[in-house]
Amino acid sequence: KDLRRRARRRSPGCVAMGSVDELVDHVFADIPPALRDQCIRDRILEGLAAAGACDVSVLGTLLEQDYSAVKGAIGTAAPVAFVAMLKQAVLNQTAAPAATANTPTGVGFATPSGAVPAAAALRPMAVTVKLGSKTLVAARMISVADETTNLAALLQLALDGVDEAERTMLSSLPVKVAAFRGAQLLPNQKVDVELSSPASQPASLGYHYILFSYAPPAERPAAQ
């Protein structure tokens, strides 16, 4: 069932809800189908309206100042990964003022003639990082630009927030990279990729879930 085609219901207290509608639809268009199928569009919009997010600017402030409140407002209407992608979409929009300077009031994601939409070249990736059996980063949603970000850079983005001492230790360890079609990271949906490969490469083939696996120091082969 295509959730993007469901009827739109606006909260009577939110006169500028259209721009938030556009933002949610934009995120729906970009996220993997497996994540989109877990989302209920109408309930997401109702939750955001109840939280007072009547336009993208207010929503951006809420996401920045009280991320947990937005997650609570959306509740069971969408997984937490969707909320992360929603925040990323707001950041992408505000990071490119030149592209949106001529956007008419109430219309989201329009760009001046000849300009490339800021998020058009972005691909959402769910990134997991493990050290042996220990999960350091669990399915962190990151949007990457086509051909400009390789998997090594994606790994560094994913590790942002990990303890600095642990990051230093990881830098001395070998790491393997695998891409998967589904969030379950099933072996029969896996392809091995090189760390130097563009991050957009597996995504363009439908592999939106990336696993970086570090071998713990004790498991590294002994020097000959």
Residue 123 is predicted with a pLDDT of 66
User: What is the Cα–Cα distance from 88 to 79, expressed in whole angstroms?
Assistant: 15
N-terminal to C-terminal alpha carbon distance within the chain: 58
- If pLDDT is split at 50, 70 and 90, which confidence band does 129 have? very high
Tokens representing residue 29 in the block: 């268009």
User: What is the Cα–Cα distance from 156 to 152, expressed in whole angstroms?
Assistant: 7
DSSP string, the chain: --GGGSPP---TT-TTHHHHHHHHHHHHHHS-HHHHTT--HHHHHHHHHHTT--SHHHHHHHHHH-HHHHHHHHGGGS-HHHHHHHHHHHHHHHT-HHHHTTPPTT--S---TTPPPTTTTEEEEEEEEEETTEEEEEEEEEEEETTT-BHHHHHHHHTTTS-HHHHHHHTTS-EEEEEESSTT--GGGEEEE-TTSBTHHHHHTT--EEEEEEPPGGGSPPP-
Residue 76 is predicted with a pLDDT of 92
- If pLDDT is split at 50, 70 and 90, which confidence band does 207 have? confident
> Could you tell me the pTM of the whole model?
0.47
Closest Cα partner for 207 from 189, 184, 186? 189
| pLDDT tens by residue, 83-128 | 888 888 777 665 444 343 443 433 333 333 444 444 444 567 889 9
User: What is the Cα–Cα distance from 84 to 30, expressed in whole angstroms?
Assistant: 13
User: What is the Cα–Cα distance from 191 to 167, expressed in whole angstroms?
Assistant: 26
Please name the residues in contact with 167: beta carbons below 8 A apart, sequence gap of 6 or more: 159
Residue 117 is predicted with a pLDDT of 42
